[in-house]
Structure 1
Amino acid sequence: MRSDAQSARRAQRTFVWLWALATVAKILVAARLPLFVDEAFYWQEGRHLAAAYSDLPGLTAWLARLGTSLGGEHVLALRAPFLMLTALLPWLVAHIGARWFGETAGWRAGSLAVLMPLSGTLGLLALPDVPMLFATVLCLDAGARLLRGVDATSAAELALGLVIGALSHYRFIGVIGIGFVALLLIPEGRRVLRDPRIWIALAMGIAAWAPLISWNLENADAGLRFQLVDRHPWSFQWGGLWFLLVQALLVTPLLFLALMQVFWRSLRGGEGVSPQWRYFGLLGGVSTVGYFLLGFFADAERVSFHWPLPGYLPLLIGVPALLCAWPALWRRLLWLSAGLGLLVLLGYYVAVSVPAWRAQWAASKFYPYNFAGWNELADAVREERAKLPPDTRLLADNFKVGAELGFALGDPDIAVLDHPLNRKHGRAPQLRLWGLESGGSRSAPALLVVGSSDVQYKHLLQRYHWLCDAVGPLPAPSRVVNVDHGSQRFLLFALPAGKVSGPCTAPAMAWIDTPVSGARIEGAVGIKGWAFKDGVGLNRVEILLDGRPLAAARYGLPAPGVATYWKISNDPNHPSVGFEARVDASTLPVGTHWLGLRLRGRDGSVEDWPEQPVRIGD
């Protein structure tokens, strides 16, 4: 008995230290991590308070508004309510585990909730998964208590969890459905469902969906169609295997194995498996397997690695009891790998928040576009607006630019043009309801902010021509904002009042054919490629190295394949839009450098093109 008490005290001290250190670390990271684009839009929704929105129920926006109302327009204030909720989660997990598996197992379950990378980093971003997971744990606790006996307190806790979940996300419907199935599979659960107090709690939970149902009825089911139909291909894709691998890495492999063992034991049942164990295992396991199967058919373009988290926490509660049968070495490796996994994921967010480190990912598929460049863009917009007439209005190319600039400038009403991204992320209906979707016409001067890196390069010229149709021929950019060697790129255009007619004039387009990105070069090197500028053409192309002029290219070489590919291009120089230059790499410093272009248009425009890495020497 004395040994059990000592073990419990050690487990408690370990939990408190881990929780305190992780919480402090998360606050420090959240204070400097750039605003993620979805967070910016939730902030914007919070400045237009409503019961529900096109993408989500209202709670996420309400929490964002609460944070900034109390703490000011700062990223940490925006994230503060979400950090507070996630700080409570490990304590709730520990409380649940202690009730059913003993005090020591409870504190260890809480420690695992701190260390598991997915749950340990939750709350760094102001996302709806935070209140949804909090609601899931409340329902989990209430369900386990109800299996022992129905009482008013447990029913009230269930009702509270159902209400919070309904106000958090459409995906909480899955948590409700799986919880209902788990109760039906357990004899004690079927008894619970016969109690009228449970149905009163369920009725309160159902009522909480009313704002979202009402919004969809008033808006032709736009939100429901986006969440269930538009964003998913609903066809088999082998990428689901990659989803499984990512999950094992984000949970950490040994902990992932332990979670699956808890599920397997709940399916087998038998002596020593309590109703609560079966409930936790079935609720978590069925949910997790369901998301794994969904990964083969659902949206693979947007971030979805956090989706199975509501299934992991119920399984996590049973892990400490399961580990008693593991060899000591493997137990230690599990704890060590979970802690290292948390440090790696926190390190990723730290790297994202440090511009010099983030720039190392430029030109790679791991570059964090949705975190990068917003502060630099806001500074450029402030400087350009200071040069323009006082009545100049901001006009954003897409919802990302509009929301991020809105937060930085304290303006939640920046007009936004139609854009594929607005529809792809389910934000177009909401922008229309706010009256912020602009067709491009204007009665006053405007500063148009275009995110050129938000469009696939093969579609970029088409987007420029769409902009010409919407706002008129584009003048020379007043500013080109290249962030992290141009991996994130914005163009600013000062537009006059009223739409000007005429042939489409667009920003320059270019490509370096040789050397390719990442190539090793030495000696005399030929730099070849093509460049054009619709409407007016280019008269000069300069080669840049690390942002400084290196050589003047010979421009106007035949490149007939360019016009063949870019069929809508109206550059008067076609087909003579190729360029070539020769440089002596032996005179350049050894190491990695960034090769770029400076494109000078006949209209006086000067545009620096995104850079690509090259390696000089060994």
Structure 2
Amino acid sequence: MAQPVNPWLAGLLALTLLRLGATVLLPLSPDEAYYWVWGRTLQPGYLDHPPMVALWIAAGTFIGGDGPAGIRLLGPLGLAAASLALADAGDRLMPEHRPGRWAALLLNAMPVTNAGAVLMTPDTPLFVFWCCTIWAVARLHASGRGNWWFTVGLFAGCALLSKYTAVLLGAGLVLWLLAEPSARRWWRDWRLYAGGLLAVLVFSPVLVWNAAHGWASFAKQGGRAGAGADFGFRYLGELLAGQLGLASPILLILCAVGSWAAAMAWVRRRDAGAGLIATLVFPAALLFLWQALGSRVQGNWPAILYPGASLAAAAFTALRWQRIGAWLGGALSAVVLLQAGLAPLALPRSADPTLARLGGWPDLARQVNEARLQAGASFIAAEEYGLAAELALHLPPGVPVVAIGDRWDLFNLPAPPDGQGGVMLRSLRRGEGPSLWPGAAPIGEIIRSRSGVEAECYRLLRVETPAGEQPMALLPRPR
């Protein structure tokens, strides 16, 4: 007799297929185009982030080609695996509540999760490996078998290899090991230290690369840490407003209430599983809140809080509100993705962030190439790394694309030949300050738009190689 289909697994499969379809529908953002360049020039490290996103894109484009489907292929698949991991982790950490599947449902209903599933950025692999690390710790806690520390170390190392904020995962885990009485015994087990060493070994290529490049990446990202000198509540308001949109209002409230209830269950009942959730949520949340008192916290940074917070919401809040929150979050996610892909509403840039990031790139590339042909130029250049990468993806085959700026000195990319003329594109948002390319002469303007709505205006400039002291790189083109 055939086994009945598990509706939860069927729903996850359907959601994954929808996300794979969305990867084709949505235009590539400048950051994704830039990370595609990483995937074509694999290195142990980069100025902005560790290399995991480049590895994911390289694998995806090997299978699916240098288009949106290939670049984003591992996103929906990774989020499906993360959902399975979180569901199992929740049931093992809190067997009396068995919140796993509901937690995965709440997490998948959030707009931030759906965006991470279809847009390939370093947050995507970080999110996946964060959930997998929670799963490995849950198996360790439920079984009491110390060999799970090797799996914890492997996944934690992969999380670090994805984004530096994964250090908060390790900090929360160490806090739990110190504060939870039932977990302190692991400090006497050599496998805990072996797992930590494994995490460091997985991350070690980034250390080696940074040491060889003047610790450039650590200096760049370390400069973002701290509350800054501009003390006030402006950035705090931005952070909270952003999370209301990215998590959806009801789910954000449920996550906050559930996390507090998990902390109380740990304090009052010595619930070790709830304690692990609390240590993975509250220290990092307090750090982001503290930083927002003096500097901007990007909206995607707190996304790492939601796997643990979703477990807490599913375990400690009313099921009725979870259902309402899941429906609302899913609806908001659908609206955002629909607007990003099809733009049924002709909203201005100020009201539509999808227009600013995703709209009009193929048509812009066509206009720029026409201007290049009219000017008799041999290449197209850009100062903004994302703009240069978008042009490299969308221009016709055989058109050289030159990127200029000090970051390109850290790539293993060829420089363009001397004595050639080109056309450079420069966003008017950058103002009228001096160009990175000395001697650049204005020759016109071009507008990037979607369905007749302006996304951005650019100035066209005539340039010639070489460009003085600024490093230049000839970007790869689609295969």
Task: Give the direction of change, closer, same or farther, for the CA distance of 1:106–1:355 in structure 2 (3 Å limit).
Answer: closer
1:275 alignment partner in structure 2 = 272
Q: Quote how far apart the aligned CAs of 1:368 are.
A: 3.6
Q: Does 1:445 align with 2:421?
A: yes
1 or 2, which has the higher strand percentage? 1
Deviations, residues 440-484 of structure 1 (Å, cap 9, x unaligned): x950121222232x41xxxx2224xx36x713433x33x623425
Q: TM-score, normalised by structure 2?
A: 0.85
CA distance in 1, matches of 2:291, 2:249: 21
- Distance change >3 Å, CA 185–CA 373, structure 1 → 2: same
The equivalent position to 1:291 in structure 2, one of 281, 288, 292, is 288
Code of the aligned partner of 2:328: L
Q: Which has the higher contact order (CA 8 A, sep 6+)?
A: 2
**What amino acid is aligned across from residue 83 of structure 1 in structure 2?**
P
CA distance in 1, matches of 2:155, 2:147: 12
CA distance, structure 1, for counterparts of residue 203 and residue 173 of structure 2: 17
The structural deviation recorded for 1:50 is: 0.8
Q: Aligned residue for 1:332?
A: 320
Task: Flag the structure with higher helix content.
Answer: 2
Structure 2 counterparts to residues 21-420 of structure 1, below 5 A: 21-102=14-95, 105-148=99-142, 150-151=144-145, 153-229=147-223, 234-235=228-229, 236-238=231-233, 239-268=235-264, 269=266, 272-300=269-297, 304-323=298-317, 326=318, 331-354=319-342, 357=345, 359-362=346-349, 364=351, 366=353, 368-386=355-373, 392-409=378-395, 414-418=401-405
- Do the aligned partners of residues 120 and 339 (structure 1) sit closer, same or farther apart at CA in structure 2, a change above 3 Å counting? farther
- 1:111 CA displacement: 1.8
Q: Percent identity?
A: 19
| Residue type at the aligned position of 1:462 | G
Change in CA separation of 1:260 and 1:62 when aligned onto 2, cut-off 3 Å: same
Mapped to 1, the partners of 2:393 and 2:276 lie a distance apart of 43
Q: Distance in 2 between matches of 1:225 and 1:498?
A: 29
Cα pair 2:173 2:280 within 8 Å, conserved: yes
Q: What does residue 429 of structure 1 align with? A: 407
Deviation for aligned residue 1:71: 0.8
1:343: how far off?
2.0
SS of 1:480's equivalent in the other structure is: strand
CA displacement at 1:75 relative to structure 2: 0.6
Shift in alpha-carbon separation, 1:356–1:347, aligned structure 2, 3 A? closer
Name the counterpart of 2:459. Answer: 491
Give the conservation status (yes or no) of the 8 Å contact 1:416–1:437.
Answer: no
Q: Which runs of 5+ in 2 are unaligned?
A: 468-479
Render the CA deviation track for 1:545-573: whole Å, top value 9, x for unaligned. Answer: xxxxxxxxxxxxxxxxxxxxxxxxxxxxx
The change in CA–CA distance for 1:278 and 1:94 in structure 2 (over 3 A counts) is: same
Task: Output one character per residue of 1:298-344: Cα deviation in whole Å (capped at 9) or x when no partner.
Answer: 435xxx22222222212322333323xx4xxxx32432233222221
> Are 1:20 and 2:1 matched, yes or no?
no
Aligned-pair Cα RMSD in Å: 3.0
Q: In 1, Cα distance between the equivalents of 2:109 and 2:313? A: 13
SS at match of 1:107: helix
Query: Following the alignment from structure 1 to structure 2, what is the Cα–Cα distance between the partners of residues 492 and 93?
Result: 49
Aligned partner of 1:470 in structure 2 is: 438
User: 2 CA distance for matches of 1:366 and 1:116?
Assistant: 17
The answer as to whether partners of 2:262 and 2:316 remain within 8 angstroms in 1 is: no
Gap change, CA 1:146 and 1:413, over 3 Å in 2: farther
Q: Secondary structure at the match of 1:450?
A: strand
- CA distance, structure 1, for counterparts of residue 45 and residue 209 of structure 2: 6
Tell me the matched-pair count: 457
Given the two structures, how large is their TM-score scaled by the length of structure 1?
A: 0.67
User: Could you report, residue by residue, the CA deviation over 1:170-197 in whole angstroms, capped at 9, with x for unpaired residues?
Assistant: 1111211122112211012221222101
